[in-house]
């Protein structure tokens, strides 16, 4: 496995290949990321993982400075999965000057849910993903693949739209969320949890499952009942000392609230939630 830190070295490493499969990450890899690498391997003739903690997607009060940087351990894990190339650029390499041009995703997709609670987050994500795609795919002779976890459901959807609208030569592949034995979605931020918080953390996914069940039971009455059902789910978590941002049922395609027609086709729906437990903000979702 090659580890490269510059765009020139990356392009040189990829030159012999036609169709890369990329797994973009911010490092501190866990089994969920490794699952993405396993999904990537059969999709291209070279498997690339990028490791870059992207300042642009963190608000000033968020955890950019403390986000774990574990390059050596990450590379060992990637090598064991058969990854071919690791691209781990410095900030100076990827942002040699302040990024003046940015990718602005449309507000109807990017200012709701995560984007409402993390203003500018998806601009930061889209901008860095566009840059990573340019680094990895611009010189490839055939379209490539980029693999994203469905745990970041909105991110994956917005990147899909970005790829469509910019005609990027990349197929976006979404991979199911990896979970711990108790059902907690794997996340780099789980490492911030104390033992007591870790035991409690599964309650977010349980609250979402309960909301999904209630949504199904509501049937075509869902649009009318949804505010009350969401309130109930928020209160269930708040009562356990969580600070929930949102727990909601949305359409999978555009993450808008479901109409009665959507409710009649529950396979078109997804439940999504984000909540803070102590200092740690966790997100999760289930496709119904
Ligand atoms: O999902 C992540 O880890 C990040 O948002 C990504 C896609 C690597 C962009 O920095």
Cα of 239 vs centre of ligand 1, distance in Å, is 32
pLDDT in the model for residue 267: 87
Smallest CA separation from ligand 1 atom 3, residue? 25
Q: Which residue has the tokens 């049922």?
A: 249
Q: What is the pLDDT of residues 139-190, one digit of tens each?
A: 899 999 999 999 999 999 999 999 999 999 999 999 999 999 999 999 999 9
Smallest CA separation from ligand 1 atom 8, residue? 25
- Residue stretches of the annotated binding site for (R)-pantoate: 57, 155
| CA dihedral sign, ordered 210, 213, 219, 223 | positive
Adjacent-strand bridge partners of 85: 2, 48
Residues flanking ligand 1, CB < 6 Å: 24-26, 54, 57, 125, 128-129, 152, 155
pTM reported for the whole predicted model: 0.97
Q: What is the pLDDT of residues 190-246, one digit of tens each?
A: 999 999 999 999 999 999 999 999 999 999 999 999 999 999 999 999 999 999 999
Nearest ligand 1 atom, CA 159: 7
Cα of 126 vs centre of ligand 1, distance in Å, is 9
pLDDT in the model for residue 101: 98
- Residue stretches of the annotated binding site: 26-33, 57, 149-152, 155, 186-189
Active site residue 33: yes
Helix (H, G, I), strand (E, B) or coil at 27: coil
Query: Contact 170/144 with Cβ under 8 angstroms?
Result: yes
Q: What is the pLDDT of residues 32-76, one digit of tens each?
A: 999 999 999 999 999 999 999 999 999 999 999 999 999 999 999
- State the average pLDDT over residues 274-283: 97
pLDDT in the model for residue 27: 98
Smallest CA separation from ligand 1 atom 9, residue? 125
Nearest to 173 by CA among 43, 30, 86: 43
Q: What is the pLDDT of residues 5-16, one digit of tens each?
A: 999 999 999 999
Least confident of 123-137, 171-185, 201-215, 259-273: 259-273
Residue 266: pLDDT over 90: no
Domains and CATH numbers, the chain: 2-175 (3.40.50.620), 188-287 (3.30.1300.10)
């Amino acid at each position: 496995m090659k580890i490269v830190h510059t765009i020139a070295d990356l392009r040189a490493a990829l030159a012999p290949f036609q169709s890369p499969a990329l797994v973009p990450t911010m490092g501190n890899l866990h089994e969920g990321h490794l699952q993405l690498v396993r999904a990537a391997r059969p999709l291209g003739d070279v498997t690339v993982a990028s490791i870059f903690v992207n300042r642009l997607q963190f608000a000033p009060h968020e955890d950019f400075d403390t986000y774990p940087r574990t390059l050596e351990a990450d590379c060992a894990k990637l090598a064991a999965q058969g990854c071919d190339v690791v691209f781990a650029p410095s900030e100076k390499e990827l942002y040699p000057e302040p990024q003046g041009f940015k990718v602005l995703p449309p507000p109807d997709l990017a200012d709701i849910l995560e984007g409402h609670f993390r203003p500018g987050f998806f601009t930061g994500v889209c901008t860095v993903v566009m840059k990573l795609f340019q680094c990895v795919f611009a010189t490839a002779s055939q379209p490539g693949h980029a693999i994203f976890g469905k745990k970041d459901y909105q991110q994956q959807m917005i990147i899909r739209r970005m790829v469509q609208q910019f005609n990027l030569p990349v197929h976006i592949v979404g991979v199911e969320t990896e979970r711990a034995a108790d059902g907690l979605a794997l996340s780099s931020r789980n490492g911030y949890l104390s033992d007591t918080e870790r035991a409690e953390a599964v309650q977010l996914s349980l609250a979402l499952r309960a909301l999904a069940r209630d949504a199904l039971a509501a049937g075509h009455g869902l649009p009318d009942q949804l505010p009350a059902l969401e309130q109930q789910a928020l209160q269930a978590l708040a009562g356990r000392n969580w600070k929930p941002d949102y727990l909601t049922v949305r359409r999978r395609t555009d993450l808008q609230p479901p109409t009665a027609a959507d409710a009649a086709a529950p396979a078109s729906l997804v439940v999504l939630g984000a909540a803070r437990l102590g200092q740690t903000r966790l997100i999760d979702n289930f496709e119904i």
